[in-house]
Amino acid sequence: MMTDNAVLKNNSIIHFSALRLRAGTWLKLSHFLGEEPAYDVEFVAAIHGKSIFVSQPDAPSGGIRVGDQYAIYGFNGTSEFTFAAEILQLQDGPFFYAQLTYPDAVEVRVVRDALRVNVSIPVLVMPDGSSSHVSGAIKDLSVKGAMVESAIPAGRVGDKVSLVFSTEIDARGKVDLDIPARIIYVRKLDGECVFRSGLEFGHIARSDELILYYLLFTHYAKITNEVGAAIMQLKKNATP
């Protein structure tokens, strides 16, 4: 039996209310049939047991239709979650929002061992107390740390630095992050003028932490959708 006080474990099934979503939490809507791109929306509110409300996607004609069903993904700051919902109503101005069915259940996976994704994000590594910086690219990212590649070492092991980089959130555009970190290793690739630096994040501002979760989930969902589409194509090709 599910309870709102259920302990969240990997692949737990809980009530929607147990997520305790805050207004403004980013969600991603993915069409069940894979016919359309995924859409980024913000959670607005919920009427317990009746419906939930989200912002309309920043896309031509809103991008979604009444009666369509979507798989909805997101992070609540500690866990990634997914549930199914149908679009009940689309409200036009002055406030554009979508009303969805209230989910019967939500599948949750606690991010205990931080999810890591391969990325390629330009970054400045800035030593504490210095105006200098090292330019590089984040190649591996999680909510706990990152691996940066650069033409010169990002610093020395134990150095405290800040990772300064930008990312895109569809509904908000460009957002900037400034993540405190500590260098835990520096390695030079054999035969190449490339250094890899491993960094462990320090205390991250709540707003930056949520953006990190969103960024990670976006990359993870993209990979998952690509794999799912490939499997569906293989099944289609195998059908006599």
Query: 41, 54 in Cβ contact below 8 A?
Result: yes
- Give the Å distances, CA to CA, from 28 to 80, 157, 163, 168, 201: 11, 38, 26, 14, 26
Find out whether 149 and 136 touch, Cβ atoms under 8 Å.
yes
Do residues 206 and 214 make contact, with C-beta atoms less than 8 angstroms apart? no
Delimit the domains of the chain by residue range.
12-112, 117-215
Total residue count of the chain as it appears in this document = 240
Q: Do domains 12-112 and 117-215 have the same CATH topology?
A: no
At 136-190, the pLDDT tens digits run 999 988 888 899 999 999 998 889 999 999 987 765 678 889 999 999 889 888 7
Quick: pLDDT tens for 53-72.
998 887 545 578 899 888 88
pLDDT at 123: 95
Q: Global pTM?
A: 0.51
Decide if pLDDT at 218 tops 60: yes
CATH number of 12-112: 2.30.110.10
Please compute, for residue 172, the number of CA atoms within 13 A of its CA located in the half-sphere on the CB side.
16
CATH of domain 117-215: 2.40.10.220
Percent over 90 (pLDDT), the chain: 30
- Distance CA(145)–CA(179), nearest Å, equals 10
